[in-house]
Amino acid sequence: MKKYNIPVEAALEVIGGKWKVVILCHLIKGKKRTSELKRLMPGITQKMLTQQLRELEEDNVILREVYNQVPPKVEYSLTDYGWSLKQILDLLCHWGEQHIEKTFDNPEDMVVQINEE
Amino acid sequence: MKKYNIPVEAALEVIGGKWKVVILCHLIKGKKRTSELKRLMPGITQKMLTQQLRELEEDNVILREVYNQVPPKVEYSLTDYGWSLKQILDLLCHWGEQHIEKTFDNPEDMVVQINEE
DNA sequence: CGGAATCCCCCAAGATACTG
DNA sequence: CAGTATCTTGGGGGATTCCG
């Protein structure tokens, strides 16, 4: 059985993956298709995206809904348990924004705008 | 200049390291010597500890105080900027505790107790 | 005691191609 | 469109040694 030296390690095991917090931050905005997530995260590969999504699903943080149709359609959303992370995710996003403003002269240049619509 | 696709990536760049959140959670409890941190984190190597501490220091999140004496003594503590992460760290710790309770039958078995005194 | 410097291994993660 | 399979690589990170 896995042992933790400090309880926070249990949280990191769930959301500590390289892309997991980013994925969850996007899903806070609402249900997303695989291709939407890929577009929102230009740096991620198909393989990593699938892998991280699977792990989040196994930890009961996100829900995967498959529509049996051609072409395939899969949607991801937060579960109730996933929503229990909302405050943490919001604070992280906010802290990130502040950090950008604090650190750089032209913070608006730091964020690549992606049209969500 | 580094670009982010979403501001939260800036936060992850600061506290996203493998051990950084754990280190910061310990420092919330107060100033710590290097050897204390090592004892609190049995899994970390000297190299990783130093490396993660340096990066946190560079990001102005922690303060490194060197006492010029033999044997050497170095203490680490949160800076004011580091304290701006307190709420996030507290929530993460709390979520970790809840997650352990939710997931396992005997949660108390999951945490290796370490005498802080 | 704290940490810098080496050596080195392994696997996380990228690239590519393929499938239903 | 979503996901799998295979191959490859770089650098994250472990172990060890040396230093003030």
Q: Residue A44 CA to D6 C1' — how many Å? A: 19
Give the number of other Cβ atoms within 10 Å of residue B32's Cβ: 20
Residue A75 reports pLDDT greater than 80:
yes
Residue B45 reports pLDDT greater than 80:
yes
**DSSP alpha helices (H): ranges in chain A?**
8-15, 20-28, 34-40, 46-58, 80-83, 86-103
Confidence of residue B16 (pLDDT cuts 50, 70, 90): very high
pTM of the shown model: 0.89
Instruction: Give yes or no for CB of A70 within 7 Å of strand D.
Output: no
Residue B1 reports pLDDT greater than 90:
no
Asked if A112 and B4 count as a contact pair (C-beta separation under 8 A), the reply is yes
Say if the Cβ atoms of B93 and A21 lie within 8 Å: no
> What is the overall mean pLDDT for chain A?
89
| Residue A7 to residue B102: CA distance in whole angstroms | 13
**B46 CA to chain A: closest CA distance, Å?**
17
Per-residue pLDDT at B71? 87
CATH architecture for residues A7-104: Orthogonal Bundle (1.10)
* Positions on chain C within 7 A of a protein C-beta: 1-6, 12-17, 20
Residue A36, CA: closest nucleotide via C1'? D1
Residue B87 reports pLDDT greater than 60:
yes
Asked if B92 and A11 count as a contact pair (C-beta separation under 8 A), the reply is yes
Give the number of other Cβ atoms within 10 Å of residue B9's Cβ: 24
Strand C contact set, beta carbon < 7 A: A 17-18, 43-48, 71-72; B 33-35, 38, 46-47, 49-50, 53-54, 64, 66, 71-74
| Residue A100 to residue A108: CA distance in whole angstroms | 9
| Residue B56 to residue A60: CA distance in whole angstroms | 31
CB-based contacts of B22: which residues, under 8 Å, 6+ apart? A5, A6, A8, A9, A12, B41
* A66 close contact with B: CB closer than 8 A: no
Asked if B34 and B54 count as a contact pair (C-beta separation under 8 A), the reply is no
Q: Which residue has the higher pLDDT, A48 or B102?
A: A48
Q: Residue B21 CA to D11 C1' — how many Å? A: 22
The DSSP code for A4 is B
Predicted confidence (pLDDT) per residue in A4-61, tens digit: 899 999 999 999 988 999 999 999 999 999 999 999 999 999 999 999 999 999 999 9
Predicted confidence (pLDDT) per residue in B65-74, tens digit: 999 888 899 9
Residue A51, CA: closest nucleotide via C1'? D3
Distances (CA, A) of B56 to A83, A105, B20: 29, 21, 8
Q: Which residue has the higher pLDDT, B77 or B116?
A: B77
| Residue A47 to residue A36: CA distance in whole angstroms | 15
**B103 CA to chain A: closest CA distance, Å?**
10
Say if the Cβ atoms of A10 and B43 lie within 8 Å: no
What is the pLDDT averaged over residues B53-75? 94
What count of Cα atoms within 13 Å lies in the side-chain half-sphere of residue B23?
A: 31
Per-residue pLDDT at B102? 86
Per-residue pLDDT at A102? 86
Asked if A42 and B9 count as a contact pair (C-beta separation under 8 A), the reply is no
* Domain chopping of chain B, boundaries: 7-104
Confidence of residue A2 (pLDDT cuts 50, 70, 90): low
Residue A112 reports pLDDT greater than 80:
no
Confidence of residue B103 (pLDDT cuts 50, 70, 90): confident
Which chain B residues have a beta carbon less than 8 Å from that of A1? Answer: 104, 109-110
